[in-house]
Amino acid sequence: MQQAIKADALQIEGLSVAAQIGEKSYKALDGVTLSVARGEARGLVGESGSGKSLTLRAVMGLLPANLTVTAGAIRFDGRDLLGDGGKLLHEVRGTGISMVFQEPAVALNPVMKVGRQIVDGVAWRRGLSGRQAKELAVELLAQVGIKDPARWVDAYPHQLSGGMRQRVMIASAIASKPDVILCDEPTTALDVTIQAQILALFKALKTDLGAGLLYVTHDLSVVAEFCDSLTVMYAGRTVEQSDDLGALIASPAHPYTRSLLAAVPRIRGPIRRLRGLSSSAPSLTERDQKPAPALVACGPGRQVAPFTAEDERFFARDEEV
């Protein structure tokens, strides 16, 4: 799915986040590195607890009180979002960078009409009147594929289906025509039919808006269908990434990536037993507290974390299920 990709809009370099638990501090993210260009859809995968959603929340400045960025850089158009006391982040959050959350039923305000939630921020920034804001909300609802948007603009979240609520979240994310959209498993709670519709919508938005997407998912079939590039995380670290999705899938370099791909069921080819990962990712308190080694190049547009023979043996212990 390679296409003409523009310059990087979002760059994350060596991002580390510490979690304070009692009197001890543990590494929740350790040296995470990736980038997203305008017009690119980058997948971000890894098992639960690998730090995917936390990475997105760190970019948006939405970390819980006991989590703190301790190292690294987050840049938007080359400008550091972690400096100047958060002023630049406040400026670009919701405008230059927006986010689609995993659970719209939780993210949406249950006592506020969805139309107002979609345009509240952009209406304030543009100084729109109430009538202008409502017209914009109707326009955005139509853009994300909600039929009869004038009817639903004054609805409350509980009056909408799960698919419609997710479309509302997407409408809110694109209201300011951002350069980067962070997508935190936006189709996880949806049935397969609605999931396909939402993915088609994201494809259209990527083309129409020219926005870059950082797409967190557990579903590697979604990655194969939708993404241009891929970053793989494990235990809070980036272990492998490629600007060419096909190259990484065809020849994964890191043993964890190989195990992750081997665990995907296949409907073509010879029948074989399904292989599973040998163990779950280590918890915060079990993780290596030494600094993550720097990624090394392993091909054009590709990087991999250094690994040992012990790592090879550990991740090769795939279990038959």
Strand order in the sheet with 67-76: 24-37, 8-21, 67-76, 79-80
Regarding beta strands 41-45 and 229-234, do their DSSP bridges make them parallel or antiparallel, or are they unpaired?
A: parallel
Whole-number pLDDT of residue 2: 47
| Helix, coil or strand: residue 27 | strand
pLDDT confidence of 247, banded at 50, 70, 90? very high
CATH code of 8-96+177-320, in short, is 3.40.50.300
Q: What is the pLDDT of residue 192?
A: 83
Q: Where are the domains of the chain?
A: 8-96+177-320, 108-175
Separation in Å, CA 314 to CA 51, 60, 182 = 20, 34, 32
User: According to the model, what pLDDT value does residue 134 have?
Assistant: 94
Asked if the model's pLDDT at residue 4 lies above 70, the reply is no
Residue 319 — pLDDT band, cuts 50, 70, 90? very low
Contact 262, 275 (CB under 8 A): yes
Q: Are 197 and 161 in contact (CB under 8 A)?
A: no
Q: What is the pLDDT of residue 208?
A: 86
DSSP 182-223: EEESTTTTS-HHHHHHHHHHHHHHHHHH--EEEEE-S-HHHH
Q: What percent of the chain has pLDDT over 90?
A: 58
